[in-house]
Amino acid sequence: MPLVALAILVIFNIIFVPGFLDVEITQDGRLYGRIFDILNRSSSLIILSLGMTFVIATAGIDISVGAVVAISGAVCCSIIGGRGDGVAENPMIVAMIAAVGVGALCGAWNGFLVSKIKIQPMVVTLILMVAGRGIAQLITEGQIITVYYEPFSYIGGNIPGNIIPSPIIIAIIMIALVLFILKKTSLGLFIQSVGINPTASRYA
């Protein structure tokens, strides 16, 4: 049904929006068009929804993803810093690893409360949703952090010489990785089996 709704929406836009499928190459060598603009802007949501896929596959729910993104982003930008001269205060790779680590730590905290303390997922993630944004504010000291570091902008923009926006490429890679985990690994089988029947999975 979601695919049918998406197909109807695309057909509607093709009919009523002139040039909806038009694609051109800009002067700086980037693909530009409504389709690429939509994909580029939705890539971050796609990546977030992939994480939600694992949670929902286990018959759970997570409403704290926005707060986790806020915390991870605050950590990453705070570590990179930048004084407006295009020079990072710390290596970008360190900041990115720290951000991913903080996100994983938040997920582990939620998982501990759900699996060990036996609190309902909705309640657990509601707690982090409320507290997480406050934690992000504490990390940034309530300030808006602007990172003036060109390599960091490649993640949300374009790598020089690449015609496809980086967020789209990252989203495609993440989709392929998630499909591989769910369809080709024992972890994926375990996740799906828990979502279908936790009791049977426990005895299997």
The string of pLDDT tens digits covering residues 134-181 is 999 999 888 888 787 888 888 888 887 788 889 999 999 999 999 999
Task: Output the pTM of the full model.
Answer: 0.83
Tell me the three state secondary structure of residue 24: strand
Q: How many Å apart are CA 124 and CA 48, to the nearest integer?
A: 18
Quickly tell me which residue has 């993803």 as its tokens: 65
Whether residue 198 is predicted with pLDDT greater than 70 in this model: the reply is no
User: Do 138 and 75 touch, CB atoms closer than 8 A?
Assistant: no
What number is the average pLDDT over the span 2-17? 90
C-alpha distance from residue 26 to each of 30, 32, 152, 167 (Å): 5, 7, 22, 18
